């Protein structure tokens, strides 16, 4: 494996053209989040019901233990080394974390962004050698972490532990990541990070669905249509074994399924937008209050933004651009759709579209203001 190239300063165009889903890179002079204290992390996770975990152990000793939250400071080991606290979905509870995601929305699809997980580790703390099936950006907020990477590795899992760890870890390269630096890893690069001192790493995960996951949603959506298509016809049952599935029946079934997926581009884009903005969506209730309270804030030119968990997608082009948020197509002009996708902030123009405002409220897409 080649040494990890440095990209400093960060240039989105160069990153997408040379590194994205191709090879790792170390990015400097871009994102510098203010670290949370360990107490703040635990308090936020407990207050907002965020998933949290305590991981102890070392790769060399293979003595991993895992404790799921909620956690408090009494749950933490007293030895001050070889343990890590992980808190997921921090962007759903902290504006400071959400702002970091906003930086990625400038050059990557909004619907692709999954969450920010914060790892607070004592010296020697780690989560073990593993590999992810999705892109990940590892932002060093405090302290230093040593990363070992491998492009070619034995994928056999270590089944002794609940965590998805690699059994036979052999790194091919390593590097130190300091505060203010960011390590990007495309899918399929195995990695193992160890804190060299007390450190905090913000992990930005991006996820996309598998083919079967998309097919399941499309099948459900298509089955609800009035023009769902023909049914399987058993024209010539075998008189000797009538329950047998014949090759002819299998061919007919394949043809029916192919026909069901023969959607025009606009229909398929619409269904994909609904699915991708709903898939793995963090649950939010419809906004409390009424539409008049939102209108009052807009009239006073106060900031009304999308909820941190809201996911959006656009499809179509030009004046035919449509907006989908949290699985629902929003009835608004193309100019508003494009503006909201760019800023995630509602302008006063939305006052002219009360039905669209109501849609946003009912879908849980409007955040605190």
pLDDT at 289: 56
* pLDDT tens, residue by residue, 316-329: 999 999 999 999 99
Q: What count of residues does the chain have? A: 369
* pLDDT tens, residue by residue, 252-299: 999 988 888 888 899 999 999 999 999 999 987 765 556 778 888 888
pLDDT at 91: 95
Spell out the residues 6+ positions from residue 27 whose beta carbon is closer than 8 angstroms to its own: 6, 7, 8, 10, 15, 181, 182, 183, 184
* pLDDT tens, residue by residue, 213-264: 998 998 888 888 766 667 888 888 888 888 889 999 999 999 988 888 888 8
Global confidence as pTM: 0.90
Report the mean per-residue pLDDT for the chain.
Answer: 92
Domains of the chain, first to last:
5-206 (2.60.120.650), 211-262 (no CATH), 263-369 (3.40.366.30)
Flag whether pLDDT at 94 surpasses 60.
Answer: yes
Spell out the residues 6+ positions from residue 23 whose beta carbon is closer than 8 angstroms to its own: 2, 5, 186
Do the beta carbons of residue 108 and residue 154 sit within 8 Å?
Answer: no
Report which of residues 132 and 259 the model is more confident about: 132
pLDDT band at 58 (very low <50, low <70, confident <90, very high): very high
């Amino acid at each position: 494996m080649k040494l990890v190239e440095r990209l400093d300063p960060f240039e989105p165009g160069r990153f997408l053209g040379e590194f994205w889903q191709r090879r790792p890179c170390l990015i400097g002079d871009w994102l510098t989040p203010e670290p949370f204290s360990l107490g703040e992390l635990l308090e936020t996770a407990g207050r907002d019901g965020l998933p949290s975990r305590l991981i102890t152990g070392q790769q060399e000793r293979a003595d991993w233990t895992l404790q799921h939250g909620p956690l408090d400071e009494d749950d933490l080991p007293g030895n001050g080394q070889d343990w890590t606290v992980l808190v997921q979905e921090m962007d759903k509870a902290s504006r400071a974390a959400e702002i970091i995601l906003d930086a990625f929305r400038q050059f990557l699809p909004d619907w692709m962004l999954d969450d920010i997980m914060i790892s607070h580790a004592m010296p020697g703390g780690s989560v073990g050698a593993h590999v992810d099936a999705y892109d990940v950006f590892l932002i060093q907020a405090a302290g230093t972490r040593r990363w070992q990477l491998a492009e070619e590795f034995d994928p056999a899992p270590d089944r002794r532990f609940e965590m998805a760890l690699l059994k036979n870890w052999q790194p091919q390269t390593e590097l130190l990541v300091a505060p203010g630096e960011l390590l990007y890893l495309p899918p399929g690069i195995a990695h193992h990070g160890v804190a060299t001192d007390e450190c905090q790493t913000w992990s930005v995960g991006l996820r996309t669905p598998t083919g079967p996951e998309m097919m399941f949603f499309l099948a459900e959506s298509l089955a609800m249509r009035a023009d769902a298509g023909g049914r399987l016809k058993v024209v010539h049952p075998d008189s000797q074994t009538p329950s047998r599935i014949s090759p002819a029946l299998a061919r007919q079934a394949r043809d029916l399924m192919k026909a069901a997926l023969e959607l025009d581009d606009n229909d398929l884009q619409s269904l994909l937008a609904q699915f991708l903005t709903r898939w793995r969506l963090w649950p939010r209730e419809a906004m409390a209050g009424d539409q008049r309270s939102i209108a009052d804030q807009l009239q006073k030119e106060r900031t009304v933004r999308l909820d941190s968990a809201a996911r959006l997608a656009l499809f179509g082009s030009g004046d035919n651009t449509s907006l989908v948020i949290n699985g629902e197509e929003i009835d608004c002009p193309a100019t508003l759709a494009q503006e909201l996708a760019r800023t995630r902030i509602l302008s006063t123009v939305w006052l002219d579209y009360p039905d669209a405002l109501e849609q946003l409220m009912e879908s849980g897409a409007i955040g605190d203001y």
